[in-house]
């Protein structure tokens, strides 16, 4: 199986499972990830999704063997049928997606992590925009997300030069949220994801929607959208519970409704 899919309480967990190939994408794995994201989005018992890898790598991008096979897929097909749907699903998922980068994240593997709502990494992990090394341009949303995370100049340099970025450097340049020491990474990243799975899911989904819109809205349009989505949030059961718990000075019990 190219993916290992499990659920822990309200957390859906997807693990890339091609460790012998540094979890590089095949067509089979791409379609499996698309299917898993769709199912977790529809499953109301799942309130957050954790994306990580088995073995030494998070994901090394595309398995290039598929690109050079006789009668193999074109790069255009791979982008259109594999990576674009994956990135769109991550951004449209009505619950947070956390990337726990357990090792090297290269090419599409790095950019898929950047498309997630939160990315954390183990200290020994690294990020590489490997495209220029084989005469390609970044895909999987890399040219969209990376400049917004680290700035135009830095993104240009990383993409054109293909420099390797350590996890600590990635955190310092705001490429990712946080770095955990290797010996506690699995525990801490899962703890973070479980925490998010216990939060008011609709409010997180609405926040995600607003962040998506902020890429194209001007200030007035964004303020109007905040008003609209705040009204929806206030009408949710979790908001009513959160406010009541605050007044009563107790811990709220969110249900995702």
pTM (two decimals): 0.93
Q: What is the per-residue pLDDT across 82-138, written as a single tens digit (0 to 9) for each?
A: 999 999 999 999 999 999 999 999 999 999 999 999 999 999 999 999 999 999 999
Q: In 10 A of CB 109, how many CB atoms? A: 28
Per residue in 174-209, pLDDT tens?
Answer: 999 999 999 999 999 999 999 999 999 999 999 999
User: What gap in Å lies between CA 39 and CA 160, rounded to an integer?
Assistant: 36
Is-contact 117 96, C-beta < 8 A?
Answer: yes
Please check the confidence at residue 23 and state whether its pLDDT lies above 90: yes
Q: Which two tokens stand for residue 137?
A: 């341009």
Please identify which residue in the block is written with the tokens 């929806």.
Answer: 232
pLDDT value for 252: 87
Mean pLDDT within 238-257: 88
SS3 3: strand
Give the pLDDT score at 70.
67
pLDDT tens for each residue of 25-41: 999 999 999 999 999 99
Please, what is the end-to-end C-alpha distance for the chain in angstroms?
34
Q: How many CB atoms lie within 10 A of CB 27?
A: 17
Share of the chain above pLDDT 70, in %: 100
């Amino acid at each position: 199986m190219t993916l290992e899919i499990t659920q822990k309480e309200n957390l859906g967990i997807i693990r890339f499972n091609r460790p012998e190939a540094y979890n590089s994408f095949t067509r089979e794995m791409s379609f499996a990830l698309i299917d898993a994201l769709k199912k977790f989005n529809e499953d109301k018992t799942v309130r957050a999704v954790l994306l990580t890898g088995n073995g030494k790598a998070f994901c090394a991008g595309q398995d290039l063997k598929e690109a050079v096979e006789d009668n193999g897929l074109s790069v255009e097909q791979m982008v259109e049928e594999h990576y674009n749907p994956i990135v769109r699903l991550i951004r449209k998922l009505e619950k947070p997606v956390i990337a726990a980068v357990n090792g090297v994240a290269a090419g599409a593997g790095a950019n898929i992590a950047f498309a997630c709502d939160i990315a954390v990494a183990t200290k020994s992990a690294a990020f590489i925009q490997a495209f220029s090394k084989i005469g390609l341009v970044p895909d999987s949303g890399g040219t969209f997300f990376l400049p917004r995370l680290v700035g135009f100049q830095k993104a240009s340099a990383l993409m054109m030069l293909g420099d390797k970025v350590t996890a600590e450097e990635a955190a310092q340049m705001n490429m990712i949220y946080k770095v955990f020491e290797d010996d506690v990474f699995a525990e801490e990243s899962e703890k973070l994801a479980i925490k998010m799975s216990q939060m008011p899911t609709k409010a997180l989904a609405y926040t995600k929607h607003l962040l998506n819109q902020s890429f194209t809205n001007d200030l007035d349009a964004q303020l109007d959208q905040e008003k609209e989505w705040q009204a929806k949030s206030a009408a949710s059961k979790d908001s009513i519970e959160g406010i009541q718990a605050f007044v009563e000075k107790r811990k709220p019990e969110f249900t995702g409704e």
